[in-house]
Structure 1
Amino acid sequence: MLRSKLKTIILALSVTMMAISLISFPQESVDASIRGLNMWWEIVFPSLLPFFIVSEMLIGFGVVRFIGVLLEPLMRPLFKVPGVGGFVWAMGMASGFPAGAKLTARLRQEGQISKTEAERLVSFTNCSNPLFIFGAVSVGFFHNAKLGVILALAHYLGNITVGLLMRFYGRKEETTNENKQRKPSIRYALSVLHRTRINDNRPIGKLLGDAVMSSIRTLLMIGGFIILFSVINKLLYHLGITTFLAGGLEIILSAFNLPIELSTPFISGIFEITLGSQMTSQVQEATLMHQAIITSFVLAFSGFSVQAQVASILAQTDIDFKPFFIARILQGFFAAIYAALLWNPVYERFYNTEQPSNAVPVAFFGEGSWMHKWFLIMSDAGPLITIFALLCYTFLLARRLGR
C-alpha cells in the first residue's frame, strides 16, 4: 500500500514538474515539438505505413502461417520461437522500430504464439532499419557512409546475440510439445495457409480497411510518443537534469577510456536515439571509434521514446514489458562491444583509406546511392503520403461511425 502511494506521489510530481517546465520554456517546447513532428511527418509515418498494412494483410491471408511452417526448423532450435518469428524478425529489420513489437502483439492476439514465446520474440525483433542507420545516422549526422557498415554489423549482431540468450528465458514456466511438431513440407504449409484464410472469413475490402485503420492508429500513437519525448528531452536539458546525470556518467566513461564529453550525448540518446546520435557526431574531442561505440549503444538501447511505444503496444496483450527492457540493455552493451571489436579488423582495414576503392561496397549506401536518394525522396514526398493516408483514415472512420 505504501509503495503504491509513493508511486502515485512520484508520478503526480513528475507530471506537475513537466507542466511547469512547459510554461517556463514555451519557445524551447514548441521547437522540440516541431522537431518531433517533422520527424514523424516526413520519415516515420510514410516509411512504416506500407510495412504495417502489408503485414496485417499477410497475417489475414495466412501467408505468415505459411512462412512459419517452413521456418520452424530454423527458428525453434536457435531462438525457441515458432517459425512465424522469422517473418517478424525480417519485417522488424526492414521497417525498424516498433514493427517487431506490433507484429509480435498481433501474433499473440491471433494465438499463434504463447506468452513466453512472444516475450522472447519481441526482445530481439525490434531494431533500427538500414535506411535509418546508413541514411540518417551515417550520412546525415556523421557524413561518413562507411561508418554505417560498423554500426549495422554491431547493431544486428547484438540483436542475434540477444535472441540466442533469450532462448533460455522462461524455460521453467514453458510446457513444450516439440516432440510432437510435424515435419514441415510445402504441401502442409499450403494447407495451413488455406485454412487460415478460410477461418479469417473477411472479404478483401474489409481486410484492407481493417489493415489501414489499425496501421494508422498505431502510427498516430507512435507520433505522439516521438513528439512527447522530444519535448521531454529538451526540457531535461534546460532544467540541468541532463547535465547532472552526465556528471555521474563521466566516471563510467573514464573507466572505459572514453571521452567524458560523450556523457551528455549519451544521456540524450537514452531518451531519444535521433538526438543522441546527432549530438554524438558533433563531439570534436572524441575519435570516430569512440563516437561509433556510443552511437551503437544508443541505437541498440533504442531510447525511452521507442520503449514507450513498445510498452503501449504490448499493453494491449498479456506480454510482459520487463524482458524487452532487459534485452535492450543487453543489446546496448553487446552492440558497443561489437563496434569496438570490429573497428580495427573491419573499418580500419577495409574502409579507412585515403582514396576510395571500387572494391568497397559504399556505392550501395553512400551519397548518391539509391538508398541515400530514397531517404531524400522520403523527406520530400513524406508529408504528401502522410496527408493522403490520414485523409483515407478519416474517410474510413467516418463510414464506420455512420453505419
Structure 2
Amino acid sequence: MRPISPVLRSQVYSILYGAIALFLVCSLILYPEQAFQSSLKGLKIWWEIVFPALLPFFIASEILIGFGVVHFLGVLLEPLMRPLFRVPGVGAFVLAMGLASGYPIGAKLTARLREDGLISRTEGERLVSFTNTADPLFMFGAVAVGFFHDVSLGVILVVAHYVASLLLGILMRFHEPNGPSTPPPPADSSFFLIRGLRAMHRARLADGRGFGQLMGDAISTSIKTLLIIGGFIIMFSVVIEVLGRIGITNLLIAAISPLLLAIGIPTELSASVIAGLFEITLGAQVASQVPAHVDISYKMAIVSAVIAWSGFSVHAQVANILSKTDIRYGPYCIARLIHGVLAGWITFIAWEPIQHYLVSSKMTTLPVFLRALPAPEWSEWSIRIHWGWCILLLLGLLTLTATLWERIKNRYFKDSL
C-alpha cells in the first residue's frame, strides 16, 4: 500500500479543519441563545474559580524561577528525580506545583523550564505527562462534596489519582530512552544545601531583573496565559452545549455503550464518559446523577478515569502552552489515556480496602467542616499553597534520605557495590 503523499495529507487536513470551523459557525447561528448561555456559564467558571485559583500560583512560580529558587530545588532533589523519573531535579518544582494547583500549571511550568534550557525536549515530554494533574481540593470539594455529598470519596479519588500519576511517571522514564538529556550537576563534595544556594545565586545573577520588574513581568505573563485558558473554557462550554443540542452526544453515547458493556461497566455511565471526554467537571456531575442502582464503585472508577484524562478542554490548553516549545503534544495525549486507565483501575481495585479502612478508623466523620464551607472555598488559593508546601516537604524528606544513603553507600559500601 502506497503511503499518502504529504501534499494530499495537507489538503485533507485543510478540508477537515474548514469543515469543522464551518460546522461550528452554523451551529452557533442555529442555537444563538444556548450558545450565549453556555458561554456565560464558562465565563463564570473561569472568573470565579480558575482565575483566582491559578493566578497566585502562576505569579509565584515566575518569581521563584526568576530568583533561582527552582535551581536551588533542582540541586536538592536531583538524587530523587533523575533515578526515578529520568528528569532533572528542577522537575520536582513542577511536580509540587502541579499537584497542589492542578491543571494546567504543570504544562505551563514544564514549558517554562524548556524555554530556559533547564530540561531537554524528551525530559519535558516525560515531565509534563505526570505533573499536569488535578488538584486535591477539586477532587475533595467539587467532586466528593459538591456532586456526591460524601467527603470520604475524595480520599479514594486522591489516592488513585496520585498513585496512578507516579506510576505513569515511572513508565514514562522509558519514553525515548536514547533521547537527549541535560547533564547532571558537576560533582561537588560540599554540603548539598551549600550547593543549592550557590546554584540559586548564579541563577539570580544570570536573570538580572529586580523584584519590581520581575513582579511586573510575572503578572503580565500570568494574566496573558489565563486569558487564553479562559477562552478555551468558554469555547468548549459552547461546543459541549451545541453538540448536545444537535444530537451528536447521543450518537457518541450509543457508540460507546457496547464497549463499556464488554468490559463490565454499566451502560448507564456512558453519558458521563462522553461528557468527561470533553470536560472533567461535567463528566463528574453527570456520573453523580446516574441512578442509585448502579454500584458506587463503578461511578467512582469512571469519575477517576475522567479526572485523569482531563478532557479536551484541558488538552487544548496544554497543546497551546506546549506549542511555544518543541515539546510534542502526542506523548502527552497518550500519557493521559494511560493515566485514565490506571486511575480508574486503581480506584476499582482499591475501593473495598480504602472504604473498610475509612469506616473502621471512623475517618468519615473527621472532615465535617468541609460540608459547612461555602461553595467557592474549595478553590481558595491559600489552601493550595499549604498543599504545595506539604508536597515540597515530602519531596525534601525523600531527597534527604536519598542523599544520606548515597553518602553512606559511597563511604562504607563502595567496594562491595
> TM-score higher than 0.5 here?
yes
Question: Residue 100 of structure 1: SS of its match in structure 2?
Answer: helix
Q: Which residues of 2 match residues 1-400 of structure 1 at below 5 A?
A: 1-174=7-180, 177=183, 182=188, 185-284=192-291, 285-347=293-355, 349-351=356-358, 358-360=362-364, 362-363=366-367, 366-368=370-372, 374-375=377-378
* RMSD of aligned alpha carbons: 1.9
**Contact 1:365–1:372 (Cα < 8 Å) also in 2:** no
**Contact 1:145–1:362 (Cα < 8 Å) also in 2:** no
Residue type of the partner of 1:124? F
- How far is the alpha carbon of 1:232 from its aligned partner? 0.7
- Residues 106-142 of structure 1: per-residue CA shift (max 9 Å, x gap): 1111111111111110110011111111111111111
Cα 1:71–1:376 change in 2 (3 A) is closer
Q: How many equivalent pairs are there?
A: 373
Q: For 2:63 and 2:184, how far apart are their aligned partners in 1?
A: 29
- How far is the alpha carbon of 1:367 from its aligned partner? 1.0
Q: For 1:174 and 1:211, how far apart are their aligned partners in 2?
A: 30
- How far is the alpha carbon of 1:261 from its aligned partner? 1.4
Q: For 2:121 and 2:139, how far apart are their aligned partners in 1?
A: 31
Q: For 1:81 and 1:31, how far apart are their aligned partners in 2?
A: 44
- How far is the alpha carbon of 1:346 from its aligned partner? 0.7
- How far is the alpha carbon of 1:40 from its aligned partner? 0.4
Cα 1:82–1:265 change in 2 (3 A) is same
Q: For 2:350 and 2:366, how far apart are their aligned partners in 1?
A: 17
- How far is the alpha carbon of 1:375 from its aligned partner? 2.5
**Contact 1:307–1:325 (Cα < 8 Å) also in 2:** yes
Cα 1:311–1:175 change in 2 (3 A) is closer
Q: For 1:238 and 1:206, how far apart are their aligned partners in 2?
A: 49
Residue type of the partner of 1:283? V
Partner of 2:385: none
What TM-score comes out, normalization by structure 2 length?
Answer: 0.86
- How far is the alpha carbon of 1:175 from its aligned partner? 5.3
**Contact 1:135–1:365 (Cα < 8 Å) also in 2:** no
- How far is the alpha carbon of 1:144 from its aligned partner? 1.1
- Segments of 4+ in structure 1 off by > 3 A? 175-184, 357-362
After the TM superposition, which of the residue ranges 307-316 and 279-288 deviates more from structure 2? 279-288
- How far is the alpha carbon of 1:174 from its aligned partner? 2.8
**Contact 1:92–1:125 (Cα < 8 Å) also in 2:** yes
**Contact 1:351–1:360 (Cα < 8 Å) also in 2:** yes
**Contact 2:120–2:182 (Cα < 8 Å) also in 1:** no
Q: For 1:10 and 1:85, how far apart are their aligned partners in 2?
A: 38
**Contact 1:135–1:375 (Cα < 8 Å) also in 2:** yes
Structure 2, unmatched stretches of 5+, are 1-6, 382-417
- Residues 63-104 of structure 1: per-residue CA shift (max 9 Å, x gap): 000001000000000000000111100000111100000001
Q: For 1:218 and 1:57, how far apart are their aligned partners in 2?
A: 15
Cα 1:292–1:65 change in 2 (3 A) is same
Residue type of the partner of 1:137? V
Question: Residue 367 of structure 1: SS of its match in structure 2?
Answer: helix
Residue type of the partner of 1:104? T
Q: For 1:36 and 1:376, how far apart are their aligned partners in 2?
A: 16
Cα 1:149–1:258 change in 2 (3 A) is same
- How far is the alpha carbon of 1:182 from its aligned partner? 5.0
Q: For 1:178 and 1:57, how far apart are their aligned partners in 2?
A: 24
**Contact 2:130–2:166 (Cα < 8 Å) also in 1:** yes
Q: For 1:195 and 1:272, how far apart are their aligned partners in 2?
A: 42
What TM-score comes out, normalization by structure 1 length?
Answer: 0.88
Q: For 1:182 and 1:188, how far apart are their aligned partners in 2?
A: 8
Q: For 1:2 and 1:85, how far apart are their aligned partners in 2?
A: 41
**Contact 1:146–1:366 (Cα < 8 Å) also in 2:** no
Residue type of the partner of 2:238? V
- Residues 242-282 of structure 1: per-residue CA shift (max 9 Å, x gap): 11111111111111221111111111100111111101110
Cα 1:204–1:177 change in 2 (3 A) is closer
Cα 1:181–1:159 change in 2 (3 A) is farther
Structure 1, unmatched stretches of 5+, are 379-403
**Contact 2:309–2:339 (Cα < 8 Å) also in 1:** yes
Residue type of the partner of 1:23? I
